[in-house]
Structure formats: structure tokens, C-alpha cells
Amino acid sequence: MKILLAVLLMTLLSPVATQAKPVIIGYLPTFKGPMAAHLDTVDLSKLSQIDIAFVNPAPDGAIVRDGALACEVKPVTGSAATLDDLRAVVSRAHAAGVKVVASLGGGVIPTCAGDWRDLLSPAMRPVVEANLLAFVRDFDLDGLDIDLEWQVLEGVDQAGDYTPFAQDLSRALHRDGKALTCATASQTGGMIPKASIPAFDVIGIMSYDGVGPDWGTPGEEHATLDMAKADLMTWLARGARPDQLALGVPFYGHGFGAYAGGHDYKDIVAAYGETAAESDVIGQACAGCDYITYNGRPTIRLKADMARRIGAGVMIWEITRDAPAPDSLLDAVYESLQKNAYAK
């Protein structure tokens, strides 16, 4: 505990924490159909980076085939995101001064994708890396994001292939002035290996999903302020620099009992009114009770302020789930991160 407190004190006094421009990363899903249309509801001036979620190589390592993503995820309704759609997102984002990276993997790997344990084996890794770097160049992307999670991450790491992959991409991307970021949990079995930490420009901490439909302790909330603080401290203790850390915040909630299921933040506000934007719970959070657990604007403000003081900024899953002003969580993130952001 004394070591963690010392790390926190050094972080709070560090000029990096107070002088660097805050990071605001928003994931933009490919699995909800054309992506550019979603940008009509997003204030790009409040983002620093968009992560295209997700891009997965096919079993042979191909990223693009026959003028489309080799592993193209079709939404439940409507048409799939296209390569022209990706170009439109990049064009609009760059015009607003926002970077765009392709995020690899995701919490659920689609059936059209290759097995990442095979893709990152010594025999296949050079092919996959070359195809990814060509994808970055061909679509004028600003880098890549590695979002391999839990069993997938653990399998790749146990084979000894995660860190070499991150190091290879980091070197190649940095030579071209591009960035490498990642997403990680903060619990055993879901954390990127320590040896890979120096490879990343930004480490996004997935500080949410503490409780869900079939995991966690019933009655608890899924993304508390205390959880966020503990997760930031975990990564500082593991050797990450403050200017590498982006605190992940959820723009969604989990429901239990009569509210069972996933809930976008915008749907919560639409269903329960603007007062819901100032709370973190609909109903009563207790074991066996009917409730929704999420983050409202006050908690998001506090998290962003903590991320400004201890880390580099905030990572958002994901931006299509936000509500419009005056209830926007992105607005709350931006306002908190800008507050005294450049104070000496």
C-alpha cells in the first residue's frame, strides 16, 4: 500500500500529468452497419482518436479481400460497414483533427476470423503483421489498437506470442509516425503482459463490467468510481507510465430482474428522463432486485477528472451509445478533462 501511495503522489506531482493534452478515445463499431452515419451525432471536436471496432484477419491472415474486409461482420439489420465507409470516417475525422486507428480482436471474435493463437504463431505472424501495416497505409490510418481479451489474450500470451507481436507492430508503426494502443482488463487472466507495456503509446483500461448477467456479485454496480481508481493504481504498479493510461468508461449499463439485458446510456435517458443522467442506478441495486447499473454524468465527470490527474485521459466504449446534449456523457468527459488541463 505504501508503494502504491508513493506512486500516486509522484503521479500527481508529475508535469506529464498536468501538461500533456488529454486523450479522449472513442470506439466506433463496425457491427452496427455503416459507421460514417453515426458521426452525425458525435461532436468530433471532443475526441482525440476514433478506434474502429473491430478488424479481424481471416484464417489466412488477409485483412481485405475482393474490395471488402476479409472478415466482414454483418449487423442484425441493415447493411455492413464497407471500405468506402471506412474511408469516409477517416476523411471526416482527419478534417476535425481526430486520429483513426483500427482495433484488432474484440470481446467476441467473429466466426469469419482466424484463431488469433494461429494468426500470431511464429509461422503466421509475419504475414499478419505485413497485411495489417499495409491496411494502415492503404486507408491512411493513424495506427492500430490491440484488443485481445481474456481467453484469447491468455492463449496467445501463454504461447509467448503477444509481446513479440506488440513489439513488432510498435517498431514498424513508430517508424511511420503511427501509434500503437491497446485495451486491457485489470484482473488476472485479462491483463496484457508486463513485458509488452513499453510497446504501447496508450493503454486503455477496461474499467467496467464488474457485474453482469452471469458474473460478479448480484446487487453490485458494474463500473464504480472505486473500481476505476483501483484499476488505474494496478497499472501504475505494473510499471505503466501515467501518460500511457486512458481510463475506460462505459456508455452503457447492465440490467437485472425486470430490467435484465444490456442498456445503452441514450436509451436509459430516453426511457427514464433527464434525472437518470444524474444517477448511476435505475431501481434499487441489491441481490434479487430489479435495477440497471450504469454511469451518469456526475460519476463520469469524477472519473474523467481522476484520469486527468493520474493518467492521460479517457477511453469510451462506445460513442454510438451516448445521449444528445444536455445529457451527453462525452460532453461530461471533455469538460472534466479540459478543466485546468494545462495548469503548471
Residues 6+ positions from 122 with CB-CB distance below 8 Å: 161
User: Quick one: pLDDT at residue 17?
Assistant: 37
| pLDDT band (50, 70, 90) for residue 12 | very low
Backbone angles phi, psi at 336, to 5 degrees: -70, -35
User: Quick one: pLDDT at residue 341?
Assistant: 46
pLDDT by residue (tens digit) across 190-248? 999 999 999 999 999 999 999 999 999 999 999 999 999 999 999 999 999 999 999 99
> H/E element holding 88?
helix 83-95
User: Quick one: pLDDT at residue 19?
Assistant: 41
Is 80 exceeded by the pLDDT of residue 1? no
pLDDT by residue (tens digit) across 68-101? 999 999 887 788 889 999 999 999 999 999 999 9
| pLDDT band (50, 70, 90) for residue 343 | very low
User: Quick one: pLDDT at residue 305?
Assistant: 96
Pairing of strands 68-69, 64-65: antiparallel
pLDDT by residue (tens digit) across 279-288? 999 999 999 9
Pair 186, 230: CB distance under 8 Å: yes
Q: Where are the beta strands (DSSP E) in the chain?
A: 23-29, 49-55, 64-65, 68-69, 99-105, 143-147, 179-184, 202-205, 245-250, 252-256, 261-264, 281-283, 291-293, 313-317
User: How far is the C-alpha of 86 from the C-alpha of 65, rounded, in Å?
Assistant: 15
Q: Tell me, which fold does domain 2-251+296-338 have in CATH?
A: TIM Barrel (3.20.20)
CB count within 10 Å of CB 38 equals 17
Pair 136, 173: CB distance under 8 Å: yes
User: Which three cell numbers mark 186?
Assistant: 485489470
* Cell 462506445 -> residue: 318
What is the distance of C-alpha 265 from the center of its chain?
Answer: 16
User: Which three cell numbers mark 233?
Assistant: 493504481
User: Quick one: pLDDT at residue 287?
Assistant: 96
Pair 73, 79: CB distance under 8 Å: no
User: How far is the C-alpha of 22 from the C-alpha of 211, rounded, in Å?
Assistant: 29
3-state secondary structure 191-208: CCCHHHHHHCCEEEECCC
pLDDT by residue (tens digit) across 296-331? 999 999 999 999 999 999 999 999 999 999 999 999
User: Which three cell numbers mark 66?
Assistant: 475482393
Overall average pLDDT of the 56-68 stretch = 97
User: Quick one: pLDDT at residue 136?
Assistant: 98
3 state DSSP class of 184: strand
| pLDDT band (50, 70, 90) for residue 14 | very low
* Cell 475525422 -> residue: 93
3 state DSSP class of 103: strand
Residues 6+ positions from 312 with CB-CB distance below 8 Å: 20, 22, 23, 202, 242, 243, 244, 245, 246
Say which DSSP state 288 is in.
Answer: T
pLDDT by residue (tens digit) across 122-163? 999 999 999 999 999 999 999 999 999 999 999 999 999 999
User: Quick one: pLDDT at residue 177?
Assistant: 97
User: Quick one: pLDDT at residue 6?
Assistant: 44
CA distances from 254 to 212, 296, 298, 309, 340 (A): 6, 13, 18, 28, 33
